[in-house]
Structure 1
Amino acid sequence: MSNHSLVVDLYQLTMGQVYFKYKRNTQASFDLFIRSPRRPFYVACGIDDALQALENFKFTQADIDYLRSLGMFDEAFLKYLEGFRFKGTVWAVSEPEIIFAPEPILRVTADIVEAQIVESTLLNKINLATTLATKAARVVLSAKGKGVYDFSLRRTQGIEGALACAKYSYMVGVKGTSFCLAGKIYKIPVVGTMAHSYVMSFDREVESFLNFAKEFPTKTVLLIDTYDVKKGALSAIRVAKFLKRRGIDLVGIRLDSGDLGRDARYLRELLDKEGFIDVIIFASGNLDEYKIKKLVEEKAPIDAFGVGTNMGCSSDLPFTDVIYKLGEIKEKGSSFIPAMKLSEGKTTYPGRKQIFREFDKEGKMIGDWLGLDNETSKGKKLFRKVMEKGKRIYREKNLEEKKKIFLQKLSSVPSYLKEIDSSSSYPVRITKKLLNLTTTLTEQIKKRIEEKVVFLDIDTQVDFLDKKGALYVPGGDKIIRNLKLLTKFAFQKNILILSSQDTHRKDDPEFKEFPPHCIKNTKGYKKIKDTLLKKYKIISFRKIYSPQELRKIKDCYPQIILEKNILNLFSNPNTLNLLEIMFPEKVVVYGVVTEYCVKEAVEGLLKNDFKVILVEDAIKEISKKEKDKLFSIWKKRGVEFTTTKKILKELGDIK
């Protein structure tokens, strides 16, 4: 498959549209790695195929038309996909490589949309190849130097699976395949014997053997167990003698059923007795590494094995738990920030990582270190840059070269890992620097994901709270102490304060109903010093800020002051947008005046489904009767009432 554009899961495209709209120019690094160690070791493969897929990744017009037909995607995003090309950087281990969980096989650093969209293509390529290569390596190891051949075509999951099995099993030591297309594409030696149906098609077994030998005298391997192994063996001896008289040696005899060890011993004795000591015994029939190991340990005189279903489908473990997780992220104009997942049983390590492998004096692997890529550690670095700006920057080795490299690497694997039933684990240690980063980031994330609370300070301005103010609220000065406590607490606990600020011109229409007050740039307009932090940002109701601008403001300022020229805070178009960006679980409301601006703020919050906590001793009303009436209504609508002391105690654990 040359084009992998729709080799995506739908959620990569839906996430992509959100990234496109809200996180343009955001860079991200994703690690592809094996999560759980269910094999003593893995053989990382499929990397070159995955990188080739990245180079060819694009969306055709037919793809775009199909996505448009789903009725889910914006035209702007579809237009972006029309010109989509992967332009990122990739680091990876060399293929093939001995790897262990949780070491990364590959790292992608790219625009976050690009990095996310190619996820499934990378996982699909590397999962299949690594699963099959690892299984085949185990089969080869179990044979202890005896030949292993791939007979898996008829049982693999599809043609691509069969091609992958032939290719990657050959890469790790299998000597040939029965699959002709794989032989043609990958230049792998092709092998084959005969089927029981072929033998059954002739009246006499010996006739089927003889005719086959006449056609393929130098490649004849006779299948002798169609009817009776001993009689089949005698027929094979007759054909071997027929070939011998013509100066040709019979290649071998194949067993496909029964007690392979017992029958192989019988055959070897018979063949040797008749002088055919060079005729090989070839075994097949639902073999895997465990059965081969047993036959080898029993010293069954079998020279080679044909392995099909169990190797081609990796039947005992038909998948590798490869995953693709975010390791760091970089917003425009900032530096990369490490990221990690804290899910129970699925925690990941943050940052850009490197694998450091140590060897003993004899060249045997003794342990790996997983660390950050900018640190120095003992051992050989396994990660290297393989792609830049969407193009590979190395020469891909051919299959024979990779096979030679793998066998060299396999010789460095300690013997205890080569045991098929090994319960020992190879030491993969985490460097101190990576451990420290993981610990620090874990605490930061736990703090970040705690229940989000925002303080909403309503109109705590001089004209309302100072006895000399233009529109002084009687008793307003008595709540200043609590207002100060709330402001100080929010600052210490990194709780964002949103503050409304009444903002009028001298000829404001509101002055027909109320005396002139809070005229911009006058003393009465200013917030009282007890509720004003040193660092704040004023947002006018006359300008609509973009989501990106609001996010940046939210991240940079501990207090955001929202100006308004009428009672309702939500008349500032940025108020709701800002709240939706923060999306707090609770909004703690205080200030003045209860039956006017506080009322409008509470009603606006409830209308938009925000949980409201009202601090009773930090608000002030003009009419107690109106206040009591509002409180009764709000209680029925789910507003929670508290005091300054209670809310500070409740939120006191926030770091």
Structure 2
Amino acid sequence: MDEPRNLTLVMDFYELTMSQCYFNQNKDLEVVFDLFYRKNPDDGGLCVLAGLEQVVEYVKNLHFSKSDIEYLASLGQFSPEFLEYLSTVRFTGDIDAIPEGTPVFPHEPLIRVRAKIIEAQLVETAILLALNHQTLIATKARRIVQAAEGRAVMEFGARRAHNFDAAIYGARAAYIAGCAGSATTYAGEKFQIPVLGTMAHSFIQSFPSEYDAFLYYAKTYPDACTLLIDTYSTLKSGIENAIKVAKDYLEPNGYRLKGVRIDSGDMAYLSKKVRARLDAAGMEDCAIVVSNSLDEYVIESLIRQQGAKIDAFGVGENLICSKNSPVFGGVYKMVAIKEDGRWIPKIKISDNVGKVTNPGVKDLYRIYDRETKMAIADLMTLQEETIDTNADLRIFHPMNRWKYKVIPGGTYDVRPLLVPVFKAGELVYDLPSLEAVRAYSKSELDTIWDEIKRFAFPQEYYVDLSEKLLDLKLRLLEQYR
């Protein structure tokens, strides 16, 4: 097994400069940070959390190597005592997180870190990086898979990704969200994701004729033959040569042509013409695959508005880069510090209401309608609070005390979303297989109403506060005002 890369220095430099100050002042101070985000990409109604496994790998392997310390010493900004401390530092705190694949919403804690202040500060960039990237790609992939309405979606984006890791971990995130597989072979090896792909136009151009190229490929892969039919002319030559190879070689030898792929032109028009030609040739089982700058909006239009005869989609740059909305705005904010054995809540205030944080050590619950089993709201509470599902539950808007909802007792169930991952630096969470994460994500998405999952003007999902948490927040706002 390959040794894990030492990514400890994947951190913003200010995490080190602050940590030296903490080291000199109060290195044993315990703190709590929340990682959350403020806005769904693409103006959507939800996100799909991904990247937790890579957070675990980073935290488990957190250490400064001899070469790391030598490099930091060469910068001339850190004391020998601080560098000696860094050479022995390991993560010894607690991390609680929402499981991968869970639908999540703005402002709720995706990860809660409780640790000594230096340890909590040093992990900031890496855990943001892991969750920001994969959650972004999983969220985009979920939208594209939803638009395909049960048709297979293949992730084809490696050559457009932002470097090697973006392609590999983007493929992982896309698979969590429901893509059938990836063209990125390394992702297949590393994560056991199905790998998919057939041929490029260059393959066809390298033969004397399109027919010769198709025939050679059919002879090489007779039981898995999908042919790219738009190199010269989709309708005049491509589909005709594909049918001819099927009749000349595949069918006489007991095989069937699995599919044809179209990579250019008017996908709706061409797919209907190709489908008619295939059916007339007795090849109703031959699938039509399309690619070329697809996203959820193009796919939805092809299926619903234009009646395209498409069985599967290959999606590249618009998925692997989340091209329409390429940034996931996860942030990492301190919410409490420990003084004299008591947790003191902390708040970040801004003229922008959306940037005001929710203070204190919090828990997060998902509330389900007991009859329908559908999610109706998420609720943040102070950690010491408990919920009695037999009693009426009042949940409050994050800023306005007058705006609340009462859920009658006995009509709802709750599930805590934050689960222990690290305790006192020890991993206590059994990481599920990627297949299990994928299946879990699908089942969790099924509990979210369609109105929240629609692409345009989705219904806002409630992420509310308990009365005690809202009172604390308003009191701190008044105090600092």
1:32 is aligned, of 22, 31, 35, to 35
2:240 is aligned, of 234, 240, 263, to 234
- Any idea what the Cα deviations from partners look like across 1:330-352, whole Å, max 9, x if unmatched? 14x34110001002222101011
Larger CA Rg, structure 1 vs 2: 1
Give the match's secondary structure for 2:110.
strand
**Alignment of 1:63 onto 2:72:** no
Cα pair 1:142 1:420 within 8 Å, conserved: no
Cα pair 2:229 2:262 within 8 Å, conserved: yes
Give the match's secondary structure for 2:348.
coil
Give the match's secondary structure for 1:19.
helix
Measure, in 1, the Cα distance between the counterparts of 2:328 and 2:288: 34
Aligned AA for 1:441? L
Q: Percent identity?
A: 39
Measure, in 2, the Cα distance between the counterparts of 1:418 and 1:215: 43
Cα pair 2:102 2:445 within 8 Å, conserved: no
- Any idea what the Cα deviations from partners look like across 1:182-216, whole Å, max 9, x if unmatched? 11111111111210111111121111111111111
Shift in Å, 1:4 = 2.0
Aligned AA for 2:257? L
**Alignment of 1:349 onto 2:358:** yes
Cα pair 1:59 1:82 within 8 Å, conserved: yes
Give the match's secondary structure for 2:125.
helix
Measure, in 1, the Cα distance between the counterparts of 2:311 and 2:85: 58
Aligned AA for 1:215? T
| 1:274 corresponding residue in structure 2 | 281
Give the match's secondary structure for 1:104.
coil
Measure, in 2, the Cα distance between the counterparts of 1:105 and 1:120: 15
Alignment of 1:336-485 (within 5 A): 336-345=343-352, 346-360=355-369, 361-377=371-387, 379-446=414-481
Give the match's secondary structure for 2:132.
helix
Measure, in 2, the Cα distance between the counterparts of 1:384 and 1:394: 8
Measure, in 1, the Cα distance between the counterparts of 2:367 and 2:216: 57
Give the match's secondary structure for 2:342.
coil
Aligned AA for 1:126? L
Shift in Å, 1:381 = 1.3
Q: What TM-score, normalized to structure 2? A: 0.91
Alignment of 1:19-418 (within 5 A): 19-38=22-41, 39-230=44-235, 231-241=237-247, 242-297=249-304, 298-331=306-339, 333-345=340-352, 346-360=355-369, 361-377=371-387, 379-418=414-453
Shift in Å, 1:425 = 1.2
1:10 is aligned, of 1, 10, 13, to 13
Which is worse superposed, 107-116 or 357-366?
357-366
Aligned AA for 2:319? M
Shift in Å, 1:170 = 0.9
Cα pair 1:64 1:82 within 8 Å, conserved: yes
Measure, in 2, the Cα distance between the counterparts of 1:418 and 1:256: 29
- Any idea what the Cα deviations from partners look like across 1:242-285, whole Å, max 9, x if unmatched? 20111000110000011001000001111011100000000000
Q: Greater relative contact order: 1 or 2 (C-alpha under 8 angstroms, separation 6 or more)?
A: 2
Aligned AA for 2:14? Y
Measure, in 2, the Cα distance between the counterparts of 1:201 and 1:422: 48
Q: Flag structure 2 segments of 5+ consecutive residues without an equivalent.
A: 390-413
Shift in Å, 1:172 = 1.5
Cα pair 1:151 1:306 within 8 Å, conserved: yes
Aligned AA for 2:326? P
- Any idea what the Cα deviations from partners look like across 1:542-588, whole Å, max 9, x if unmatched? xxxxxxxxxxxxxxxxxxxxxxxxxxxxxxxxxxxxxxxxxxxxxxx
Provide the alpha-carbon RMSD of the alignment: 1.2
Cα pair 1:326 1:339 within 8 Å, conserved: yes
Give the match's secondary structure for 1:328.
strand
Measure, in 1, the Cα distance between the counterparts of 2:366 and 2:260: 45
Cα pair 2:210 2:238 within 8 Å, conserved: yes
Measure, in 1, the Cα distance between the counterparts of 2:211 and 2:141: 35
Give the match's secondary structure for 1:137.
helix
Give the match's secondary structure for 1:385.
strand
Measure, in 2, the Cα distance between the counterparts of 1:204 and 1:421: 46
Measure, in 1, the Cα distance between the counterparts of 2:39 and 2:199: 41
Shift in Å, 1:423 = 3.3
Aligned pair count? 445
Alignment of 1:455-534 (within 5 A): none
Shift in Å, 1:441 = 1.6
Measure, in 1, the Cα distance between the counterparts of 2:279 and 2:10: 56
Measure, in 2, the Cα distance between the counterparts of 1:223 and 1:417: 37
Cα pair 2:15 2:121 within 8 Å, conserved: yes
Cα pair 1:354 1:383 within 8 Å, conserved: yes
Give the match's secondary structure for 1:209.
helix
Aligned AA for 1:143? A
Shift in Å, 1:389 = 1.6
Aligned AA for 1:133? A
Measure, in 2, the Cα distance between the counterparts of 1:399 and 1:115: 28
Measure, in 2, the Cα distance between the counterparts of 1:214 and 1:435: 68
